């Protein structure tokens, strides 16, 4: 059996700050809105995927929702977990193992932690993490420090500049300005980014993602079922996922990620090239993440990410409108952001993005990044199926 698979429902919770709601409440809110968006009831959903910060998260969520799904996925590989979930759900629906799957995530990280900047922390001591990462964390290396090392290496290898990284934050903030639910909407300049506090050289505060509250959900089902539902279906055309390392010291090349092969595989399955992509929704944990993934997925040559971004390519109307909701750098980042990429990509292909709409969008790519540039998941969505 081989069935075409579609995204038929998307839902976002309230945010970016909701101190009255727990993480699971945000998930339930987003899931309910995705069901309403699709015109489905929860009893029609046979599969559930989620990634949380504890074991059996999707099982707890199912019980909270009063569901007894027969297909579950708790893959947890950091911020790209949800692209992995979609890949797994896509193959399961395609094979006939399940008909309809919801992928759900929510977290109240801002309200719980009280921090609005995603700079990361060093962890809970040498025994809290497996070797060899325990050696890194005990020296004070933070999440942002790992990304900063990678960015500095790219600068050394290819001449990338802080100004080029800053241009990414500036363009994504322009998109956030059109999103009434974005955490930060005031315009910024390259000089503003460079003048913001240096967190870990060469990354400044405005090179780093925010921390917010928020929840998100998408629903996938078969093409046959999608025809009877509320919206024009968004087709899953291809998906791939993989990893290169866990701790940053084991990264084979600080200037290249697993996106180099996940992008190639997903694009081949979808029957497209990078030139066919109308909008790119990617995990902008830091400006460097955007730059290196632009290169790895083939939107520009290796080493050309800085000039490509600086050209204004990421703007609405540019060569590759990127993170049109304002991304993790300015809009929302409740601990993990991978599912929001899939929601925004679907919204664009349905033509529902309002002032942020990419005109004539037919192909969207959502690309998640997890860990310390460790795990990558690439999903190609389209207004038409693969022929």
Tens of pLDDT along 186-201? 999 999 999 999 999 9
**Rounded CA separation 93/104 (Å):** 17
The whole-number pLDDT of residue 122 equals 43
How many Cβ atoms are within 10 Å of 355's Cβ, its own excluded? 11
**Rounded CA separation 92/361 (Å):** 27
pLDDT digits (tens, 9 = 90+) for 305-339: 999 999 999 999 999 999 999 999 999 999 999 99
The whole-number pLDDT of residue 127 equals 43
The whole-number pLDDT of residue 26 equals 96
pLDDT digits (tens, 9 = 90+) for 117-169: 655 544 444 345 566 667 777 777 888 999 999 999 999 999 999 999 999 99
The whole-number pLDDT of residue 132 equals 63
- Given a cut of 70, whether residue 79 has pLDDT beyond it is yes
The whole-number pLDDT of residue 261 equals 98
Cβ proximity of 117 and 343 under 8 Å: no
pLDDT digits (tens, 9 = 90+) for 254-290: 999 999 999 999 999 999 999 999 999 999 999 999 9
Q: Where would I find the beta strands (DSSP E) of the chain?
A: 5-12, 47-50, 71-73, 101-107, 198-200, 203-204, 214-222, 234-243, 279-282, 363-370, 375-382
* Residue-range domains of the chain with CATH: 5-112+213-237 (3.40.47.10), 139-207+239-382 (3.40.47.10)
Mean pLDDT over 226-236 rounds to 94
pLDDT digits (tens, 9 = 90+) for 335-360: 999 999 999 999 999 999 999 999 99
């Amino acid at each position: 059996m081989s069935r075409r698979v579609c995204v038929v429902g998307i839902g976002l919770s309230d945010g970016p700050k909701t101190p009255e709601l727990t993480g699971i409440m945000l998930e339930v809110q987003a899931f309910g809105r995705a069901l309403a968006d699709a015109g489905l009831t929860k009893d029609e959903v046979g599969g559930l995927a989620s990634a949380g910060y504890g074991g059996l998260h999707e099982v707890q969520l199912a019980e909270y929702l009063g569901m007894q799904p027969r297909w579950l996925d708790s893959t947890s590989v950091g911020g790209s977990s949800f692209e992995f979930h979609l890949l797994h759900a896509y193959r399961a629906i395609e094979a006939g193992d399940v008909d309809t799957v919801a992928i759900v995530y929510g977290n109240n990280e801002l309200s719980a932690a009280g921090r609005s900047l995603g700079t990361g922390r060093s962890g809970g001591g040498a025994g809290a993490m497996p070797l060899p990462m325990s050696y890194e964390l005990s020296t004070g290396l933070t999440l942002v420090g790992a990304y900063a090392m990678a960015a500095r290496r790219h600068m050394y290898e290819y001449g990338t500049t802080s100004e080029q990284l800053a241009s990414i934050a500036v363009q994504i903030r322009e998109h956030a300005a059109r999103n009434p639910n974005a955490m930060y909407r005031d315009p910024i300049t390259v000089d503003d980014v460079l003048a913001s506090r240096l967190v870990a050289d060469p990354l400044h505060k405005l090179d780093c993602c925010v921390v917010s509250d928020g929840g998100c959900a998408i629903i996938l089902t078969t093409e046959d079922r999608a025809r009877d539902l509320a919206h024009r279906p968004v087709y899953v055309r291809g998906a791939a996922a993989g990893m290169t390392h866990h701790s940053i010291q084991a990264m084979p090349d600080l200037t290249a990620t697993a996106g180099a092969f996940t992008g190639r595989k997903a694009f081949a399955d979808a029957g497209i090239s990078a030139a066919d992509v109308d909008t790119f929704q990617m995990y902008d944990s830091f400006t460097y993440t955007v730059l290196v993934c632009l290169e790895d997925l083939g939107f520009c040559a290796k080493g050309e990410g800085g000039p490509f971004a600086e050209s204004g390519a990421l703007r609405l109307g540019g060569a590759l409108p990127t993170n049109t909701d304002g991304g993790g750098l300015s809009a929302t980042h409740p601990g993990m952001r991978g599912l929001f990429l899939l929601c925004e990509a679907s919204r664009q292909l349905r033509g529902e993005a309002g002032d942020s709409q990419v005109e004539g969008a037919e192909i969207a790519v959502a690309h998640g990044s997890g860990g310390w540039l460790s795990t990558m998941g690439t999903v190609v969505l389209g207004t038409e199926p693969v022929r």
